[in-house]
Chain A
Amino acid sequence: MKTRREMMSSSAKLAALLASAGLWPAISMAAWPQSAFDAKSLADASKALGGSVPVESKDVMVTGPDIAENGAVVPVGCSTTLPGVKRLLLLVEKNPSVLAAVFDVTDAVEPSFNTRVKMGQSSNVFAVAMMSDGKVLFASKEIKVTLGGCGG
């Protein structure tokens, strides 16, 4: 009969073993917002992240090319000049996975991020700022895709 200490020790070892084998979900995986990434619209994604109905705003900027030669790699950016932003999001309206990325904003970084997304077809791309006062603001840009980029 193992002591409680021995039990905890062996379960910790087992967890470590599973983690190193890639079988144990890392602790921070609880932070990945599954329902937001499953959302099929801007409004649903905002709701899943605890936000209100998104409102269009000139103080949020979305950048990207007008036309992407290949939807497999489309450079996009999200930023805002407003203070008090908690999160910046990028969404591709017509993708099966609408929410592409969520960036947590801290004082240590500028509220401006760039990445590259896959676009299955020409679509609106949204940059969304979730503010600390609960407001959710967005900007939209249409990006045309000459060749869908999801590799199908």
Chain B
Amino acid sequence: MSVRAVLLVGAAALWWVAGPVHAQAQAPAPAPAQAQPKSSADGIAEYRAMLADGNPADLFEAKGEVLWKQARGPKNATLERCDLGKGPGVVKGAFVELPRWFADTQRMQDLESRLVTCMEVLQGMDGAAIAKTAFGSGEQSNVTALATYVAAESRGLRFNLPQGHIEERKSYEIGKRVFFFRGGPMDFSCAGCHSVDGQRIRLQDLPNLTKNPGDGVGFAAWPAYRVSNGQMWSMQLRLNDCFRQQRFPFPGFGSELTVALGTYMGVNAKGAQSIAPAIKR
């Protein structure tokens, strides 16, 4: 189905939902009388605000903090000397500067691939095996919890990815090209959904990721707890699912391609405030 057809279906669905909501708001109700009926977008915003306090992501954040400080793996060591880009053990502020270039591994890394590096180097775990593990199981679920904890330590800070190194700038350019690359059986690209302002699928807003879409939006809203499946989603899983939705083959976990996409989105989001870990539909 073309993007336009999707939008038409989405608009029709929105109209169908908005109709009864308007009717309900106008019927005599215990709620105080309003000058005009609440739009469904307002209703959704209210719903999200009600969930913000008591985000189950807190449970994963707590688990991640325990894992950071727990001696584990064949080397029986903690992750407290892990260098996430701001020096060994510096967690606060690290999330809003990732992905970035790491001299010790000689590659661009995002939060999750860097966590796996630390689990390998400091704790002696098998990084390749972790990368192959399905999201939500085994050590992969620990990576998600750790990512949630690290992201939470940068809550409220503004994205400021470094672009000083030539590889960091290259990663941005690769990410841009990947973002606009059309392929797969539906001829989709990231840009198809995410390169225009004000686009939506059903009631789901699609942020424009070719620029800063605003505080707490897009790149600044992940990792997030998804209420629809009760799962904690990191950026790697979010990208994996985008590829699935486009009917693309799954990208490798922590691959150069996924890191480059993160670089592109993160640099575009410069100055946006992170609200991670967030809560999502």
**Which positions in A face B, CB cutoff 8 Å?**
58, 65-70, 72-73, 75, 116, 139, 141-142, 144, 146-147, 149, 151
With the chains together, A29 CA to B20 CA distance in Å?
42
Interface flag for B17 (CB, 8 Å) = yes
Interface hub of A68, A75, A116 (most chain B Cβ within 10 A): A68
Tell me whether B50 and A70 are in contact (CB under 8 A): no
Interface flag for B62 (CB, 8 Å) = no
Tell me whether A70 and B38 are in contact (CB under 8 A): no
Tell me whether B20 and A144 are in contact (CB under 8 A): yes
B 27-85 contacts with A by CB, 8 A: 30, 38, 40, 43-44, 46-48, 50-51, 54
- Which A residues touch B44, using CB under 8 A? 67, 69
Main secondary structure of the interface of A (DSSP, over half): loop
- Which A residues touch B203, using CB under 8 A? 69, 146
CB distance from B17 to the nearest CB of A (A): 6
Given known contacts A144-B20, A144-B21, is B43 in contact with A72 (CB within 8 Å)?
no
CB distance from B261 to the nearest CB of A (A): 26
Interface flag for B230 (CB, 8 Å) = yes
* CB-defined A-B contacts under 8 Å, sample of 14: A65-B46, A66-B38, A66-B43, A67-B17, A69-B47, A69-B48, A69-B281, A73-B51, A75-B51, A116-B51, A139-B30, A144-B17, A144-B21, A144-B43
Contact digits for B201-237, partner A, Cβ 8 Å, 1 yes 0 no:
0110000000000000000000000011110000000
- Which A residues touch B133, using CB under 8 A? none
Tell me whether B25 and A146 are in contact (CB under 8 A): no
CB distance from B177 to the nearest CB of A (A): 34
CB distance from A69 to the nearest CB of B (A): 5
Tell me whether B24 and A142 are in contact (CB under 8 A): yes
CB closest residue in chain A, given B24: A142
Residue from B20, B47, B202 within 8 A of A68 (CB atoms): B47
With the chains together, A68 CA to B21 CA distance in Å?
11
- Which B residues touch A65, using CB under 8 A? 43, 46-47, 50
- Which B residues touch A139, using CB under 8 A? 30
Tell me whether B228 and A70 are in contact (CB under 8 A): yes
- Which B residues touch A116, using CB under 8 A? 51, 54
CB distance from B202 to the nearest CB of A (A): 8
Residue from B30, B46, B227, B281 within 8 A of A66 (CB atoms): B46
B 119-147 contacts with A by CB, 8 A: none
Residue from B21, B227, B228, B281 within 8 A of A67 (CB atoms): B21
CB distance from A76 to the nearest CB of B (A): 9
CB closest residue in chain B, given A76: B50
Tell me whether A72 and B17 are in contact (CB under 8 A): no
- Which B residues touch A68, using CB under 8 A? 47
Tell me whether A66 and B50 are in contact (CB under 8 A): no
- Which A residues touch B48, using CB under 8 A? 69
CB closest residue in chain B, given A68: B47
- Which A residues touch B281, using CB under 8 A? 69-70, 147
